[in-house]
Amino acid sequence: MKAERITHPFPPLYDENSETLILGSFPSVKSRENMFFYGHMQNRFWKVISKIYDEKLPDTIGEKKALILNHRLALWDSIRSCTIVGSSDSSVRDVVPNDISEIISNSKIDRIFCNGALSYKMYMKYIFPTTEIKALKLPSTSPANAAYSLERLIGEWSVIKQTN
């Protein structure tokens, strides 16, 4: 697989009631194909969020959107465009960050959580200087993060509900 220059292909998910922003790094190949967040079947994001909020695991994009918006959450990514090999965070280079000012000004966002180390690194380097909203780095829900069991992820990610 070779490196490609890719621009984020789909919009953020939020509405005027969103209070908590969850930032990923950049969509995986499967997410880009599906044109929606956390599209890889083995990514544990949807399992974690549905467990935290004691909701049924969503199947469709519509159900996923409802789960996020019903709990005053928002989804977006730290990176607008980059050079990447497949879905590999470690291959990311030539980063252009996303501008989250539109989300901030059109919602009630006052908390930001980063899904994994790359998201957090990009947020702190490029976005935090303009928002000045501190972010909390959470362990990645990616299948590549094998060190974390689903139960351990749910435990760590529960902080989202505690602050919401």
Amino acid at 2: K
Going from the C-alpha of 3 to that of each of 62, 83, 86, 94, 107, the distances in angstroms are: 32, 6, 7, 11, 35
The catalytically annotated residue of 43, 70, 98, 145 is 43
* Section 15-28 average pLDDT: 97
Give residue 164's pLDDT. Answer: 55
Q: Are strands 111-115 and 135-138 parallel, antiparallel or unpaired?
A: parallel
**Res. 119: pLDDT tops 90:** yes
State how far the Cα of 132 lies from the Cα of 57, in Å rounded to an integer.
34
**Res. 144: pLDDT tops 90:** no
What percent of the chain lies above the pLDDT cut of 70?
99
Give residue 1's pLDDT. Answer: 83
**Res. 18: pLDDT tops 70:** yes
Dmax over CA atoms of the chain, in Å, equals: 42
Residue 116: which region, alpha, beta or left (left: phi > 0; alpha: psi -120 to 50)? left
Amino acid at 90: S
| 98 noted as active-site residue | no
Give residue 108's pLDDT. Answer: 97
How confident is the prediction for the chain on average, in pLDDT? 95
CATH classification for the domain delimited by 3-156, as one of 3.40.470.10, 3.50.50.60, 1.20.58.1030, 3.90.79.10:
3.40.470.10
Q: Give SS3 for 93.
A: strand
Ordered by start, the domain boundaries in the chain are: 3-156
39, 61 in Cβ contact below 8 A?
A: no
**Res. 140: pLDDT tops 60:** yes
